[in-house]
Amino acid sequence: MSVLTTVRNARRTVRREPEGVQPRGRVARLLSLHGGATFLFLYLPIVVLVVLSFNDSRIVGVWGGATLRWYRELAGEPAIFTALRNSIVVALVSTVVATALGTAAALSLERFRWRGRRAFDGLLFLPVIIPDVTMAVMLLLLFVQLFDVAGALFGLRAGFGLGTITLSHIAFNVAFVAVVVRARLARLDPRLEEAAADLYAGPWRAFRHVTLPLIAPGVAGGALLALTLSLDDVVITSFVSGPGSTTLPVYVFGLIRRGVTPLINAVSVLMLAGSMLLVVISLTLQGRRGGGALRAAVPGRT
Protein backbone atom coordinates (compact mmCIF):
# COMPACT_ATOMS: atom_id res chain seq x y z
CA MET A 1 0.00 0.00 0.00
CA SER A 2 2.77 2.42 0.94
CA VAL A 3 4.71 1.54 -2.19
CA LEU A 4 1.59 2.23 -4.24
CA THR A 5 1.28 5.64 -2.63
CA THR A 6 4.77 6.62 -3.77
CA VAL A 7 4.10 5.46 -7.29
CA ARG A 8 0.90 7.47 -7.30
CA ASN A 9 2.65 10.52 -5.89
CA ALA A 10 5.27 10.31 -8.59
CA ARG A 11 2.61 10.09 -11.26
CA ARG A 12 0.48 12.83 -9.91
CA THR A 13 2.23 15.56 -11.85
CA VAL A 14 1.68 13.77 -15.13
CA ARG A 15 -1.41 15.06 -16.87
CA ARG A 16 -3.71 12.16 -17.52
CA GLU A 17 -5.00 11.75 -21.06
CA PRO A 18 -8.63 10.77 -21.36
CA GLU A 19 -8.93 7.12 -22.24
CA GLY A 20 -11.59 6.19 -24.74
CA VAL A 21 -12.66 3.44 -27.05
CA GLN A 22 -12.90 4.22 -30.75
CA PRO A 23 -16.38 3.30 -32.02
CA ARG A 24 -16.46 1.21 -35.20
CA GLY A 25 -18.73 0.28 -38.11
CA ARG A 26 -22.41 1.15 -38.06
CA VAL A 27 -22.20 2.63 -34.58
CA ALA A 28 -19.52 5.01 -35.79
CA ARG A 29 -21.62 6.08 -38.79
CA LEU A 30 -24.71 6.62 -36.65
CA LEU A 31 -22.73 8.58 -34.11
CA SER A 32 -21.23 10.91 -36.69
CA LEU A 33 -24.67 11.38 -38.25
CA HIS A 34 -26.08 12.27 -34.87
CA GLY A 35 -23.20 14.63 -34.19
CA GLY A 36 -23.64 16.33 -37.54
CA ALA A 37 -27.38 16.75 -37.03
CA THR A 38 -26.83 18.29 -33.62
CA PHE A 39 -24.34 20.77 -34.99
CA LEU A 40 -26.70 21.66 -37.82
CA PHE A 41 -29.55 22.16 -35.37
CA LEU A 42 -27.42 24.44 -33.21
CA TYR A 43 -25.64 26.46 -35.82
CA LEU A 44 -27.94 26.62 -38.84
CA PRO A 45 -30.03 29.44 -37.33
CA ILE A 46 -26.86 31.41 -36.70
CA VAL A 47 -25.73 30.97 -40.27
CA VAL A 48 -29.16 32.02 -41.57
CA LEU A 49 -29.15 35.08 -39.35
CA VAL A 50 -25.68 36.19 -40.39
CA VAL A 51 -26.43 35.65 -44.07
CA LEU A 52 -29.73 37.53 -43.91
CA SER A 53 -28.14 40.47 -42.12
CA PHE A 54 -26.21 41.09 -45.32
CA ASN A 55 -29.27 40.58 -47.54
CA ASP A 56 -30.18 43.59 -49.67
CA SER A 57 -33.93 42.94 -49.52
CA ARG A 58 -36.70 43.72 -47.06
CA ILE A 59 -38.39 40.36 -47.62
CA VAL A 60 -36.96 37.46 -45.65
CA GLY A 61 -37.27 34.82 -48.36
CA VAL A 62 -35.74 36.81 -51.20
CA TRP A 63 -32.01 37.21 -51.76
CA GLY A 64 -31.33 40.68 -53.09
CA GLY A 65 -27.57 40.57 -53.16
CA ALA A 66 -24.99 41.40 -50.46
CA THR A 67 -25.01 44.74 -48.71
CA LEU A 68 -23.85 46.55 -45.57
CA ARG A 69 -26.92 48.75 -45.78
CA TRP A 70 -28.56 47.51 -42.56
CA TYR A 71 -25.40 48.04 -40.58
CA ARG A 72 -25.18 51.59 -41.96
CA GLU A 73 -28.80 52.19 -41.03
CA LEU A 74 -28.07 50.95 -37.53
CA ALA A 75 -25.44 53.64 -37.16
CA GLY A 76 -28.16 56.21 -37.75
CA GLU A 77 -30.35 54.96 -34.88
CA PRO A 78 -29.31 56.78 -31.70
CA ALA A 79 -31.82 54.75 -29.63
CA ILE A 80 -29.79 51.62 -30.26
CA PHE A 81 -26.66 53.18 -28.86
CA THR A 82 -28.46 54.43 -25.79
CA ALA A 83 -29.81 50.93 -25.25
CA LEU A 84 -26.35 49.44 -25.75
CA ARG A 85 -24.81 51.86 -23.29
CA ASN A 86 -27.56 51.09 -20.76
CA SER A 87 -26.94 47.37 -21.20
CA ILE A 88 -23.22 47.71 -20.62
CA VAL A 89 -23.58 49.95 -17.56
CA VAL A 90 -26.17 47.66 -15.97
CA ALA A 91 -24.14 44.54 -16.82
CA LEU A 92 -20.87 45.89 -15.42
CA VAL A 93 -22.31 47.29 -12.20
CA SER A 94 -24.52 44.29 -11.49
CA THR A 95 -21.67 41.88 -12.28
CA VAL A 96 -19.21 43.54 -9.92
CA VAL A 97 -21.71 43.76 -7.07
CA ALA A 98 -23.18 40.28 -7.64
CA THR A 99 -19.69 38.72 -7.85
CA ALA A 100 -18.66 40.25 -4.55
CA LEU A 101 -21.91 39.28 -2.81
CA GLY A 102 -22.07 35.84 -4.42
CA THR A 103 -18.49 35.02 -3.48
CA ALA A 104 -19.15 36.14 0.08
CA ALA A 105 -22.29 34.00 0.22
CA ALA A 106 -20.40 30.98 -1.13
CA LEU A 107 -17.67 31.44 1.48
CA SER A 108 -20.07 31.73 4.37
CA LEU A 109 -22.05 28.69 3.24
CA GLU A 110 -19.01 26.53 2.56
CA ARG A 111 -16.69 27.53 5.40
CA PHE A 112 -18.78 28.58 8.37
CA ARG A 113 -21.52 27.12 10.49
CA TRP A 114 -24.15 29.50 11.66
CA ARG A 115 -27.77 29.58 12.71
CA GLY A 116 -30.05 29.63 9.68
CA ARG A 117 -27.36 28.43 7.31
CA ARG A 118 -29.47 25.66 5.84
CA ALA A 119 -32.44 27.95 5.27
CA PHE A 120 -30.23 30.54 3.60
CA ASP A 121 -28.67 27.80 1.48
CA GLY A 122 -32.05 26.77 0.12
CA LEU A 123 -33.40 30.28 -0.33
CA LEU A 124 -30.29 31.54 -2.09
CA PHE A 125 -30.87 29.21 -5.00
CA LEU A 126 -34.49 30.17 -5.54
CA PRO A 127 -33.64 32.68 -8.30
CA VAL A 128 -31.98 29.85 -10.22
CA ILE A 129 -35.13 27.76 -10.33
CA ILE A 130 -38.11 30.11 -10.25
CA PRO A 131 -39.38 31.33 -13.63
CA ASP A 132 -38.19 34.71 -14.87
CA VAL A 133 -41.73 36.02 -15.09
CA THR A 134 -42.42 35.22 -11.46
CA MET A 135 -39.19 36.85 -10.43
CA ALA A 136 -40.08 39.87 -12.54
CA VAL A 137 -43.54 40.27 -11.00
CA MET A 138 -42.09 39.88 -7.50
CA LEU A 139 -39.49 42.56 -8.11
CA LEU A 140 -42.02 44.87 -9.70
CA LEU A 141 -44.35 44.60 -6.71
CA LEU A 142 -41.45 45.04 -4.29
CA PHE A 143 -40.25 48.20 -5.98
CA VAL A 144 -43.75 49.68 -6.11
CA GLN A 145 -44.13 49.08 -2.37
CA LEU A 146 -40.70 50.50 -1.65
CA PHE A 147 -41.43 53.62 -3.64
CA ASP A 148 -44.66 54.09 -1.69
CA VAL A 149 -42.87 53.72 1.63
CA ALA A 150 -40.01 55.99 0.57
CA GLY A 151 -42.49 58.62 -0.59
CA ALA A 152 -44.70 58.42 2.49
CA LEU A 153 -41.92 58.38 5.09
CA PHE A 154 -39.16 60.50 3.63
CA GLY A 155 -40.89 62.39 0.85
CA LEU A 156 -38.52 60.74 -1.61
CA ARG A 157 -39.59 60.42 -5.21
CA ALA A 158 -38.11 57.45 -6.92
CA GLY A 159 -39.13 55.64 -10.06
CA PHE A 160 -38.24 52.79 -12.37
CA GLY A 161 -35.05 53.16 -14.35
CA LEU A 162 -31.49 51.92 -14.59
CA GLY A 163 -31.30 51.73 -10.80
CA THR A 164 -34.15 49.26 -10.49
CA ILE A 165 -32.83 47.24 -13.44
CA THR A 166 -29.38 47.03 -11.88
CA LEU A 167 -30.79 46.00 -8.49
CA SER A 168 -32.90 43.30 -10.13
CA HIS A 169 -29.96 41.93 -12.08
CA ILE A 170 -27.88 41.83 -8.90
CA ALA A 171 -30.71 39.94 -7.21
CA PHE A 172 -30.71 37.04 -9.64
CA ASN A 173 -26.98 37.07 -10.41
CA VAL A 174 -25.90 36.62 -6.78
CA ALA A 175 -27.38 33.12 -6.82
CA PHE A 176 -25.58 32.10 -10.01
CA VAL A 177 -22.22 33.44 -8.84
CA ALA A 178 -22.64 31.70 -5.49
CA VAL A 179 -23.32 28.35 -7.18
CA VAL A 180 -20.22 28.57 -9.38
CA VAL A 181 -17.86 29.82 -6.65
CA ARG A 182 -19.14 27.26 -4.20
CA ALA A 183 -18.38 24.39 -6.52
CA ARG A 184 -14.81 25.64 -6.67
CA LEU A 185 -14.56 26.16 -2.91
CA ALA A 186 -15.86 22.69 -2.18
CA ARG A 187 -12.80 21.25 -3.89
CA LEU A 188 -10.40 23.46 -1.97
CA ASP A 189 -8.71 21.77 0.99
CA PRO A 190 -9.84 23.73 4.09
CA ARG A 191 -6.46 22.94 5.63
CA LEU A 192 -4.86 25.43 3.27
CA GLU A 193 -6.78 28.20 4.99
CA GLU A 194 -5.86 26.75 8.37
CA ALA A 195 -2.22 26.68 7.31
CA ALA A 196 -2.43 30.36 6.37
CA ALA A 197 -3.93 31.19 9.76
CA ASP A 198 -1.28 29.05 11.43
CA LEU A 199 1.35 31.15 9.62
CA TYR A 200 0.09 34.39 11.16
CA ALA A 201 -2.31 35.45 8.40
CA GLY A 202 -5.44 37.06 9.82
CA PRO A 203 -8.77 36.21 8.16
CA TRP A 204 -8.49 38.94 5.52
CA ARG A 205 -4.88 38.22 4.53
CA ALA A 206 -5.55 34.49 4.47
CA PHE A 207 -8.41 35.16 2.07
CA ARG A 208 -6.39 37.52 -0.12
CA HIS A 209 -3.21 35.44 -0.31
CA VAL A 210 -4.53 31.89 -0.25
CA THR A 211 -8.28 31.46 -0.74
CA LEU A 212 -8.89 34.07 -3.42
CA PRO A 213 -6.01 33.11 -5.75
CA LEU A 214 -7.10 29.47 -5.56
CA ILE A 215 -10.79 30.11 -6.25
CA ALA A 216 -10.06 32.86 -8.81
CA PRO A 217 -11.05 30.72 -11.82
CA GLY A 218 -14.39 30.07 -10.14
CA VAL A 219 -14.91 33.73 -9.33
CA ALA A 220 -14.01 34.72 -12.89
CA GLY A 221 -16.37 32.06 -14.24
CA GLY A 222 -19.17 33.29 -11.99
CA ALA A 223 -18.56 36.89 -13.05
CA LEU A 224 -18.69 36.00 -16.75
CA LEU A 225 -21.89 34.07 -16.21
CA ALA A 226 -23.38 37.06 -14.41
CA LEU A 227 -22.26 39.38 -17.21
CA THR A 228 -23.84 37.16 -19.83
CA LEU A 229 -27.10 36.73 -17.93
CA SER A 230 -27.37 40.46 -17.38
CA LEU A 231 -26.68 41.28 -21.03
CA ASP A 232 -29.24 38.66 -22.10
CA ASP A 233 -32.12 39.40 -19.81
CA VAL A 234 -35.38 40.57 -21.37
CA VAL A 235 -38.22 39.46 -19.13
CA ILE A 236 -37.17 40.86 -15.77
CA THR A 237 -35.66 43.99 -17.27
CA SER A 238 -38.81 44.88 -19.23
CA PHE A 239 -40.87 44.64 -16.02
CA VAL A 240 -38.67 46.91 -13.94
CA SER A 241 -37.44 49.40 -16.55
CA GLY A 242 -38.74 52.92 -16.83
CA PRO A 243 -38.92 55.50 -19.58
CA GLY A 244 -35.56 56.03 -21.26
CA SER A 245 -33.91 53.08 -19.52
CA THR A 246 -34.25 50.42 -22.21
CA THR A 247 -31.49 47.85 -22.51
CA LEU A 248 -30.41 46.38 -25.84
CA PRO A 249 -32.28 43.05 -25.66
CA VAL A 250 -35.45 44.83 -24.58
CA TYR A 251 -35.03 47.28 -27.43
CA VAL A 252 -34.65 44.46 -29.95
CA PHE A 253 -37.68 42.75 -28.51
CA GLY A 254 -39.58 46.00 -28.99
CA LEU A 255 -38.47 46.23 -32.61
CA ILE A 256 -39.73 42.73 -33.30
CA ARG A 257 -43.21 43.65 -32.21
CA ARG A 258 -43.25 46.08 -35.10
CA GLY A 259 -42.29 43.28 -37.50
CA VAL A 260 -39.10 41.49 -38.40
CA THR A 261 -36.86 43.94 -40.18
CA PRO A 262 -33.36 43.32 -41.52
CA LEU A 263 -32.26 45.89 -38.95
CA ILE A 264 -32.94 43.35 -36.24
CA ASN A 265 -30.76 40.84 -38.02
CA ALA A 266 -27.87 43.27 -38.01
CA VAL A 267 -28.28 44.08 -34.30
CA SER A 268 -28.48 40.39 -33.49
CA VAL A 269 -25.31 39.61 -35.39
CA LEU A 270 -23.47 42.33 -33.48
CA MET A 271 -24.76 40.97 -30.17
CA LEU A 272 -23.73 37.49 -31.23
CA ALA A 273 -20.24 38.72 -32.01
CA GLY A 274 -20.05 40.37 -28.61
CA SER A 275 -21.09 37.19 -26.80
CA MET A 276 -18.59 35.11 -28.72
CA LEU A 277 -15.84 37.54 -27.81
CA LEU A 278 -16.75 37.11 -24.13
CA VAL A 279 -16.66 33.33 -24.44
CA VAL A 280 -13.25 33.44 -26.09
CA ILE A 281 -11.91 35.72 -23.36
CA SER A 282 -13.34 33.45 -20.69
CA LEU A 283 -11.81 30.33 -22.21
CA THR A 284 -8.42 31.98 -22.61
CA LEU A 285 -8.46 33.18 -19.01
CA GLN A 286 -9.42 29.79 -17.64
CA GLY A 287 -6.90 27.98 -19.78
CA ARG A 288 -4.07 30.15 -18.55
CA ARG A 289 -5.06 30.35 -14.90
CA GLY A 290 -6.74 27.01 -14.39
CA GLY A 291 -4.05 24.53 -15.42
CA GLY A 292 -1.35 24.55 -12.78
CA ALA A 293 -3.25 25.85 -9.77
CA LEU A 294 -6.25 23.71 -10.53
CA ARG A 295 -4.34 20.46 -10.52
CA ALA A 296 -2.30 21.29 -7.45
CA ALA A 297 -5.24 22.53 -5.38
CA VAL A 298 -6.33 18.96 -4.83
CA PRO A 299 -5.01 17.93 -1.38
CA GLY A 300 -1.81 15.92 -1.05
CA ARG A 301 -3.38 12.51 -0.73
CA THR A 302 -4.77 11.41 -4.06
Smallest gap from residue 33 Cβ to other proteins (A): 42
The contact mask relative to other proteins for 152-181 (x = CB under 8 A, - = no) is ------------------------------
Helix axes 262-296, 212-232, angle to 10 degrees: 170
Residues binding other proteins: what is the number (CB under 8 A)?
34
Instruction: Please give the DSSP secondary-structure letter assigned to residue 200.
Output: T
| Rg of the chain on CA atoms, in Å | 25
Alpha carbons 164 and 139: distance in angstroms, whole number: 9
Please tell me whether residue 122 binds other proteins under the rule CB under 8 A: no
Of the candidates 105, 107, 214, 223, which one interacts with other proteins according to CB under 8 A?
A: 214
Distance of CA 211 to the CA centre of its chain: 22
User: Which residues, including other chains, have CB under 8 Å from residue 124's CB and lie 6 or more apart?
Assistant: 105, 109, 174, 175, 178
Please tell me whether residue 199 binds other proteins under the rule CB under 8 A: yes
Alpha carbons 267 and 210: distance in angstroms, whole number: 43
Of the candidates 56, 73, 121, 189, which one interacts with other proteins according to CB under 8 A?
A: 189
Of the candidates 192, 234, 270, 272, which one interacts with other proteins according to CB under 8 A?
A: 192
Instruction: Please give the DSSP secondary-structure letter assigned to residue 209.
Output: I
Alpha carbons 105 and 121: distance in angstroms, whole number: 9
Q: In this complex, which beta carbon is closest to other proteins, that of residue 3 or of residue 129?
A: 3
Of the candidates 12, 72, 85, 117, which one interacts with other proteins according to CB under 8 A?
A: 12
CA distances from 112 to 109, 115, 173, 209, 242 (A): 6, 10, 22, 19, 40
Please tell me whether residue 195 binds other proteins under the rule CB under 8 A: yes
Alpha carbons 208 and 238: distance in angstroms, whole number: 38
Smallest gap from residue 294 Cβ to other proteins (A): 9
Please tell me whether residue 197 binds other proteins under the rule CB under 8 A: yes
Q: Looking at 153-161, 163-171, 201-209, 231-239, which segment touches other proteins (CB under 8 A)?
A: 201-209
Smallest gap from residue 291 Cβ to other proteins (A): 11
Of the candidates 167, 210, 236, 248, which one interacts with other proteins according to CB under 8 A?
A: 210
- Binders of other proteins among residues 259 to 298 (CB under 8 A) are 292-293, 295-297
In this structure, are residues 127 and 172 in contact, taking their beta carbons and an 8 Å threshold? yes
Residues engaged in binding other proteins (CB under 8 A): 2-3, 5-6, 9-10, 12-13, 189, 191-192, 194-202, 205-206, 209-210, 213-214, 292-293, 295-297, 299-301
